[in-house]
Amino acid sequence: MYYVADTHSLIWYLSEDKRLGSNALQIFMMADKGEETIIIPTIVLAELIYICERKKAEVKIKAVFDMIKNSLNYLPYPLNVPVLEKSMVLKDFRDMHDRIIVATALTNNATLITKDDMIRKSKLIRTIW
């Protein structure tokens, strides 16, 4: 099974933030052991750069990119035409970042790691927290 990480889940995992849900933590730990695969949308990486530059996270962005480059279990996923086409039908989500993240999960038939109540309540995608 594939998982897609949203921005908060990735930041909270990397910074060992207690707000990360226990099920989400378990998936990240399993990916670290090579037991699960987590897709990271490039929009999440872009948001991560933005947040780190504003010093709103205790995450070192270079370490994140090194982790992704050296891992078979964390896969960057590009913002491409199929994702954009899928995002066009997700009009219930006002935030374009959320639409792209959900569309990435849908495109890959993956479970989304997210705390976002609006996404979880929509039932459009399998979620875990």
Q: How many residues does the chain have?
A: 129
Q: Could you list the pLDDT tens digit for every one of the 129 residues in the chain? A: 899 999 999 999 999 999 999 999 999 999 999 999 999 999 999 999 998 888 776 788 888 898 888 899 999 999 999 999 999 999 888 899 999 999 999 999 999 999 999 999 999 999 999
Are 68 and 40 in contact by the 8 Å Cβ rule? The answer is yes
- Prediction pTM value: 0.93
Least Cα distance to 77 among 21, 2, 1 occurs for 2
* pLDDT of 40: 98
Separation of alpha carbons 7 and 51, rounded Å = 10
Strand pairing of 37-41 and 74-77?
Answer: parallel
Q: Across the chain, what does the average pLDDT equal?
A: 94
The amino acid that residue 39 corresponds to is I
Both structure tokens of 95: 């935030």
Q: Give the rounded percent of residues in the chain with a pLDDT score beyond 90.
A: 80
Query: Which pLDDT tens digit goes with each residue over 48-69?
Result: 999 888 877 678 888 889 888 8
Buried b (16+ CB within 10 A) or exposed e, 66-93: eeeeeeebbeebeeeeebeebbeebeeb
2-128: CATH, from 1.25.40.10, 1.10.10.10, 1.10.357.10, 3.40.50.1010? 3.40.50.1010
* pLDDT of 64: 87
Separation of alpha carbons 34 and 61, rounded Å = 22
